[in-house]
Amino acid sequence: MLWADRPLPDAIRAAAAAGFDAVECHWPYDTAPADVRVALDETGLRMVGLNTARGDVAADEFGLSAVPGRQVAARAAVDQALDYAAALGARHVHVMAGNANGPDAEAAFLATLSYACDHPARDGRAILIEPLNRVDAPEYFLRDTAQAEAILDRLAHPALRIMLDCYHVGRTEGDPLPVLSRLLPKVGHIQFAAVPDRGPPDHGDLDYGRVFKGIAALGWTAPLGAEYRPGPDTDATLGWMAAFRDDACHGHPQSRTPR
């Protein structure tokens, strides 16, 4: 989402120049992994994670894993994502559920997640699922953290974790800190953006100075993903980094998501 006007390798270089410690990406598959690897090696940044493919974007698909009848394509997307993650050394793969609902969707999602967790190419990587708020993604299968936790409990696989975006939780459930406090052992990655406009975290309904201090107090030391909409000039939105760096995870407030 940051520096989305640039090719992925150049977005990585921009993140390094801006002072980020790590990066993550949504769907990198139009870029050769070797080109991304060059940018990572050049900058010294690590790739935290990436998403499985959306599917047929023209048909409004937003992930495949919970979509009945799309199981073959969903498994192919898992294969693709794990191979790409291995080429970059990325430690997380977010398996996107897609727009679906009902028992058949749940069965499809559980089957795809089991396939991902037991995949021979997983090689220690965490498999993430992410609830999305109903305002931005009204048809998305995974709608809140309670549903995500139930899926983790149902599968009981140590590789499966929740990707908890403070923005989505803020839109759906309110203050993310009580949710994080309860779910932290089941969380694999944390992201953030302002509520409700999904802009940079220096405004809005959530006080991110308080949120970042709270996350640090819980003992979280991994990067946090700055997944927000920056408008036309990403660099002009980065004042929050200096303001919040000391609050967030003992000085590690940032990975971010270029498209």
Cβ neighbours for 185, distance < 8 A, ≥ 6 positions apart: none
Q: What ranges in the chain are assigned the alpha helix state H?
A: 8-18, 33-43, 71-88, 103-117, 145-155, 166-172, 176-183, 208-217, 239-244
Ordered strands of the 224-226 beta sheet: 49-51, 92-94, 126-129, 160-165, 187-192, 224-226, 255-256
Q: How far apart are CA 116 and CA 63, in angstroms?
A: 14
Q: Which residues are catalytic?
A: 130, 227
Distances from the Cα of 220 to the Cα of 22, 49, 192, 215, angstroms: 16, 17, 14, 6
What is the distance of C-alpha 175 from the center of its chain?
A: 19
DSSP run (H or E) holding 256: strand 255-256
Q: What amino acid is encoded at 252 in this protein? A: H
Residues 6+ apart with CB under 8 A from 35: 8, 9
| Torsion 215-216-220-222 (CA) sign | positive
Please give the Cα distance from 186 to 164 (Å, whole number): 10
